[in-house]
Amino acid sequence: MALPAWAAMHASCTGAPATQEALVVMQGSPATILADVTDARNPRPICTITGPWTAQLVTQTTISWSATQGNGSTSGDSVIGFLDLFTGNSTAAANWTGGAFMDGLHAWSPDRGSLAYVTSDTSAVNLHLLSGGGDRVVATLGAVPGRGANPNEDDAYLSFSSDGAYFAFVQTFSSSGDHLQVRHTQDGSLAYSQALGTMATWGSIGSVLYFRQPVSSVVSLWDPSGVVTQAIGQQLAWIRPHADPGDDNIAFTVRDSAGTPHVWLYGHGGRSGGQLPNVRSAPVWLNTTSFFYVEEAPCGSTCGIGPATQADGKTFTYDTGQQAETASRISQVLGAWPRAGQT
């Protein structure tokens, strides 16, 4: 399927693929870089990616992104693009008419054999599963109403389990339909759902989904047995948790009663981890042992409607083996390879 020119992305590569990679933006530059992050403290550029869209890393050598000519009030052409960074070959994985909120949210299975994606316009939100069996709408939810968002409670998450057997769509925005859905990758049929859910992540191993409900500090766990249990004994209203690529750790943010953020680790079924020092937020894994996160500081009169602390531009990497952080030249992480299930 040809990719329209308006939706294109391009890459210029000067290095070779690495065993640990991440899509990053470096301090002082707007460019997206594919970097070797085997040593997370010293990322080495491999490719520079250009284009107006936000990419995600699919495999060691490929990226995908969503692009649209629509907007919240007027539908337009939408597409999911796919680019081999080293050959320059690009294709459209899917196209439709949309452009409203969550339009183009998508995720690939670990083996890249299945693509789950969201189409959204003023009438509905549709969840698709694209695989060898074709492109199917597996769920239809109500359109997203116009409203503000609470970054501590609102989220939109679409991802496959590390074993590829399930995919989860968890979001707080649609006007109707269950906000948490777990579906079988084989045919898109429903494995589990509940009306409310937010801040979800698959674990590093198997098919274990962690989540909580909005305005709740109970972290729950679903597994294929169908039983939902409390995952963490402590009351933690976690924010945007992320599982590492295979060592069974989850990093996440918790804001205390004063709104000050702290990064926590939950590892190996609760046998390791805890709150890390300093005022930090937004952890994202770079490899199995290191994650990126940002410093926050009091923002005073410039806070606006946000919390009393906000990112101050300083960033760090944290090494779980050394239990130490290092100042980073990275300003943003868009994704890493391998992901859970690809190790």
Query: pLDDT tens digits, residue range 24-82?
Result: 999 999 999 999 999 999 999 999 999 999 999 999 999 999 999 999 889 999 999 99
Distance CA 80, CA 209 (A): 26
Residue 311's pLDDT is what?
Answer: 94
Q: What is the band of 331 on the pLDDT scale with cuts at 50, 70, 90?
A: very high
Distance CA 190, CA 138 (A): 9
Between 104-108, 186-190, 265-269, the lowest mean confidence (pLDDT) is in: 265-269
Buried b (16+ CB within 10 A) or exposed e, 64-100: bbbbbbbeeeebebbbbbbbebbeeebeebbbbebbb
CB 189 within 8 A of CB 128: no
User: How many Cβ atoms sit within 10 Å of the Cβ of residue 222?
Assistant: 25
Q: What is the pLDDT of residue 36?
A: 98
The mean pLDDT of the chain is: 95
Confidence band, pLDDT 50/70/90 cuts, at residue 2: confident
pLDDT number for residue 271:
84
Is residue 294 scored above 80 in pLDDT?
Answer: yes
Q: Residue range 165-171: average pLDDT? A: 98
Distance, CA of 223 to CA of 103 (rounded, Å): 28
Domain ranges (residues) in the chain: 1-94, 100-237, 240-343
Residue 232 tokens read as 């963490």
Q: SS3 for 85?
A: coil
Q: Is the pLDDT of residue 19 over 80?
A: yes
**Span 155-176, mean pLDDT?**
98
CATH topology (fold) of 100-237: Methylamine Dehydrogenase; Chain H (2.130.10)
Phi/psi for 339 (5° steps) reads: -90, 175
Cα 30 from Cα 283, distance rounded (Å): 20
Please give the Cα distance from 201 to 206 (Å, whole number).
Answer: 12
pLDDT tens-digit series, residues 215-243 = 999 999 999 999 999 999 999 999 999 99
Instruction: Say yes or no to pLDDT of 22 above 80.
Output: yes
- Among 117, 119, 115, which residue's Cα sits nearest to residue 133? 115
CA dihedral 306, 311, 312, 316 (to 10 degrees): 170
pLDDT of residue 343: 72
The arithmetic mean of pLDDT across residues 237-263, rounded, is 95
Q: Is the pLDDT of residue 118 over 90?
A: yes
The pLDDT-based confidence of 274 (bands split at 50, 70, 90) is very high
Report the share of the chain in percent with pLDDT over 70: 100
* The dihedral sign for the CA sequence 334, 291, 154, 223: positive
Report how far residue 133's alpha carbon sits from residue 144's, in angstroms, rounded to the nearest whole number.
29
Q: What is the pTM of this model?
A: 0.96
Q: Give the mean model confidence (pLDDT) for residues 13-25.
A: 97
Write down the pLDDT at residue 176: 98
Answer yes or no: is pLDDT of 259 > 80: yes
CB 265 within 8 A of CB 281: no
Give yes or no for residue 305 having a pLDDT over 80: no
Give the residue among 204, 177, 272, 194 at the shortest CA–CA distance from 232: 272
The confidence score (pLDDT) of residue 45 equals 98
Per-residue confidence (pLDDT) for residue 301, from 0 to 100? 84
Summarize the confidence of residues 199-211 as an average pLDDT. Answer: 96
Per DSSP, the residues of 246-279 read: SS-EEEEEEE-TTS-EEEEEEEGGGTEEEEPSSS
Is residue 154's pLDDT more than 90? yes
Q: What is the per-residue pLDDT for 119? A: 98
